[in-house]
Amino acid sequence: MSTNIRVIAGNLTADPKLQFTRGGKPYVSFTVADTPRRRNAQTDKWEDGETTFQRCEAYVAAENITESVGKGDRVLAVGRIRTERFTPRGGDHEVSVDKLVVEEIGVSLRWTAAQPVRTKRSGADEVSGHSVEPHFAEGAGDNSHDEMA
């Protein structure tokens, strides 16, 4: 088993962006932010820690992701880290960026409720025998959207 697996929890910083590869396959990109909070025992007040941001890409269920979650929604994502190296325009040194290539994603139920709604997809999933994938419609909560079909 690979040790290159990461699980992250946090809020989407923007709506997921659906894009297509040169071959026409859909994928989605998004960023998950997490700001840890702790209670300061001396002041008895909550304090925010340093926010971390994780860039993510998903090739599996890209359309379900864009239809199911949006800016501010809390998600749990599981995937593998891929490091991309490039030289920025006008730059003179190489830059490394870590991305989480998401294999599984779900809505966090920590502060909201969600009801799974199954949708039928055509294409590659039917060929593999997995024509039904979960699709989440948010319920009541701080980050709720109207129910999505």
**Is residue 149 one of the residues assigned to a domain?**
no
Regarding beta strands 52-58 and 132-141, do their DSSP bridges make them parallel or antiparallel, or are they unpaired? unpaired
**Is residue 87 one of the residues assigned to a domain?**
yes
Q: What is the pLDDT of residue 2?
A: 60
**Is residue 96 one of the residues assigned to a domain?**
yes
Residue showing tokens 């190489």: 94
Tally of structural domains, the chain: 1
**Is residue 52 one of the residues assigned to a domain?**
yes
**Is residue 55 one of the residues assigned to a domain?**
yes
Domain that holds residue 53: 5-109
Q: What is the pLDDT of residue 134?
A: 40
**Is residue 42 one of the residues assigned to a domain?**
yes
**Is residue 139 one of the residues assigned to a domain?**
no
Task: Give the Cβ contact number of residue 136 at 10 Å.
Answer: 20
Give the mean pLDDT per block of 10 residues along the chain (149 residues).
82 97 96 94 94 96 93 96 89 90 94 81 47 39 37
Compute CA distances 126 → 96, 131, 132, 133, whole Å. 37, 4, 8, 10
Q: pTM of this prediction?
A: 0.71
CATH at residue 43: 2.40.50.140
DSSP-assigned beta bridge partners for residue 56: 30, 100
Compute CA distances 141 → 5, 24, 73, 146, whole Å. 30, 36, 10, 11
**Is residue 146 one of the residues assigned to a domain?**
no
